[in-house]
């Protein structure tokens, strides 16, 4: 996600300029991160509300700079390894990080964003 | 009167209400909601709603005050300084009077308990201790603090006071 990509997107979508700029600043500080967890992002990016951040992330997905995948929280609250393009693909049982299977019925779905290229 | 189109906030509210009615079917409800939006040709809104919901839920779960972490460090440092001062005084040839032994132990136990309590609460709330998820950070924080207080007072009584 280079500076030019952000700049172009911000010019194309001036209504999301502020959120894109904040995302760009965050990205510069976390250049080694390959997966963006929106929870972490919302905690660390100040001055932009959740809706604006989600819309900016969606713009980056549409531009092909990010890929949105869905993960599932295990009963202990961490994210299971499995990734799904769509929440409807999540099976009724999944292995946690210790390969113990758990029922996903009461689990939450968490979208995360993978860097593309 | 024409109905106002629903915003992502309306959908989040609707989804959360459905989940609250039946929390044991959380996954199925989310999947149903997603399927409904996709069938209505509105997958993008479904994706945005789940992203915003994830951010908002985290903010609600992070319910320890922001001063917890600095307070934990300060209490720890103050306790350390107090004991460094006692060591210094001992080196200079002074002794802790027997009547001051319990207050010294109490300061040590309370200092450690507060420090552990504040730091554990912050760590749990920010998800740094994956074992707990980030559920009930205040309860875990208080339990940790009380446990440390009891352990130090008990051990201190047998080693230092008795």
Crossing angle of helices B101-125/B68-91, nearest 10°? Answer: 150
Residue with tokens 């839920």: B57
Q: Please give the share of chain B, as a percent, with pLDDT higher than 90.
A: 35
Residues of A in contact with B48 (CB under 8 A): 51, 54-55, 58
- Note the pLDDT of residue B143: 84
Residue scoring higher pLDDT (B124 or A20): A20
A interface with B, Cβ–Cβ below 8 Å: 38-39, 41-43, 50-51, 53-55, 57-58, 61, 68, 70, 72-73, 76-78, 86-88, 90, 104-111
Distance (Å, whole) CA A74 – CA A90: 13
Region A70-89: mean pLDDT is: 89
Question: What does R_g of chain A's alpha carbons equal in angstroms?
Answer: 16
From the list B24, B48, B127, which residue is nearest A105 (CB)?
A: B24
The rounded Cα B142 to chain-centroid distance in angstroms is 9
* C-beta atoms of A55 and B48 within 8 A: yes
pLDDT level of residue B144 (50, 70, 90 thresholds): confident
Residue B126 predicted with pLDDT over 90: no
Q: How much is the ipTM here?
A: 0.90
Nearest C-alpha neighbor of B134 from the set B80, B64, B65, B34: B64
Distance (Å, whole) CA B135 – CA B118: 15
Residue B39 predicted with pLDDT over 90: yes
- Contact between B161 and B102 (Cβ < 8 Å): yes
């Amino acid at each position: 996600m280079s500076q030019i990509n952000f700049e172009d997107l911000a010019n194309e979508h001036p209504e999301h300029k502020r959120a894109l700029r904040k995302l760009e600043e965050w990205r510069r500080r976390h250049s080694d991160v390959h997966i963006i967890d929106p929870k972490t992002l919302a905690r660390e990016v100040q001055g932009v509300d959740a809706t604006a951040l989600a819309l900016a992330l969606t713009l980056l997905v549409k531009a092909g700079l990010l890929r949105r995948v869905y993960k599932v929280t295990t009963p202990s609250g961490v994210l299971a390894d499995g990734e799904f393009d769509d929440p409807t693909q999540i099976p009724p049982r999944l292995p946690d990080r210790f390969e113990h299977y758990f029922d996903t019925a009461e689990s939450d779905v968490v979208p995360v964003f993978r860097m593309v290229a | 009167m024409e109905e106002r189109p629903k915003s992502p906030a309306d959908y989040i509210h609707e989804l959360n209400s459905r989940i609250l009615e039946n929390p044991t079917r959380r996954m199925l409800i989310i999947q149903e909601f997603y399927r409904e939006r996709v069938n209505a040709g509105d997958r993008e809104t479904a994706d945005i709603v789940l992203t915003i919901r994830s951010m908002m839920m985290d903010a609600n779960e992070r319910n320890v005050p922001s001063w917890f972490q600095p307070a934990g460090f300060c209490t720890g440092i103050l306790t350390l300084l107090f004991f460094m001062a006692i060591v210094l005084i001992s080196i200079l040839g002074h002794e802790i009077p027997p009547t001051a032994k319990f207050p010294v132990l109490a300061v040590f136990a309370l200092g450690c308990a507060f420090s552990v309590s504040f730091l554990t609460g912050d760590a749990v709330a920010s998800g740094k201790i994956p074992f707990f998820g980030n559920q009930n950070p205040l309860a875990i924080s208080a339990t940790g603090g009380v446990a440390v207080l009891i352990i130090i007072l008990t051990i201190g009584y047998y080693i230092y006071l008795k």
